[in-house]
Amino acid sequence: MLADMNPAWVTGDFQEKVIKLYGLGVRRVLVVDEEVPYPDGRLIVSRTDLTGVITHVNRSFVEMSGYAEEELIGAPHSILRHPDMPKAAFRDLWDTIQRGQIWQGHVKNLRKDGRYYWVKATVIPNVRCGRIIGYTSVRRKPDRRKVEECKMLYAQMRAKEQLDCL
Ligand SMILES: Cc1cc2nc3c(=O)[nH]c(=O)nc-3n(C[C@H](O)[C@H](O)[C@H](O)COP(=O)(O)O)c2cc1C
């Protein structure tokens, strides 16, 4: 279960959307159309267990997501899922890392206050004695041109996903 977003967390105008999360049902999210720029020179790091439940976050993760560390540890990573992200991107992420490979991609993340931030993510399987025991994601500041490309590509992917569901 992932609690719905609360209007008290959000400042300014927001749109309410409902997203479907894998294995977790639906979540009501509140979306503000304002980007928070990725801070220069920072790495945003998290670790998860095999199911994508967060087990570790660094200070930059806490600051950029807007959630307290206690709210993040034990929560599914989809706590940051933005409705503009296509499902296929995360399917590709999971398929890749479950095969033991590294996934790289650009992700639009939803903050607790409803605003968003773009990252360039590298997700790495953590292997011990030949078995995957969890995953680590390290995010860097994305290239603006790449973000603009992803905005268009993801909008097309989302439109296709919506048509496929009709
Ligand atoms: C290490 C790791 C880091 C992840 N980081 C993010 C992230 O920053 N934002 C995000 O929306 N999903 C992230 N995910 C993917 C989520 O687990 C989830 O698949 C995604 O939010 C879509 O939700 P859904 O799978 O319930 O459809 C990450 C997964 C892993 C394993």
User: What is the tens place of the pLDDT at every residue in 56-83?
Assistant: 999 999 999 999 999 999 999 999 999 9
Domains in the chain, number: 1
Residue 3 within any structural domain of the chain: no
Residue 124 within any structural domain of the chain: yes
Rg of the chain (C-alpha set)? 15
Residue 23 within any structural domain of the chain: no
pTM: 0.96
Residue 58 within any structural domain of the chain: yes
pLDDT of residue 6 exceeding 90: yes
* Predicted pLDDT at 163: 83
Range of the domain at 56: 34-164
Residue 136 within any structural domain of the chain: yes
CA distance 32 to 7: 11
Residue 63 belongs to a domain with what CATH number?
A: 3.30.450.20
Residue 27 within any structural domain of the chain: no
User: Cβ(38) to ligand 1 under 6 A?
Assistant: no
User: Cβ(81) to ligand 1 under 6 A?
Assistant: yes
Instruction: Give the whole-number percent of the chain exceeding pLDDT 70.
Output: 99
Quote the ligand 1 centre to 66 CA distance (angstroms).
Answer: 17
Residue 96 within any structural domain of the chain: yes
What SS3 state is found at 117? strand
Residue 24 pLDDT class (50, 70, 90 cuts): confident
pLDDT of residue 166 exceeding 70: no
Of 50, 62, 78, which is best to mutate to test ligand 1, by the most ligand atoms within 8 angstroms of its C-beta? 78
User: Mean pLDDT across the stretch 107-129?
Assistant: 98
pLDDT of residue 54 exceeding 90: yes
Q: What are phi and psi of 165, to 5 degrees?
A: -90, -5
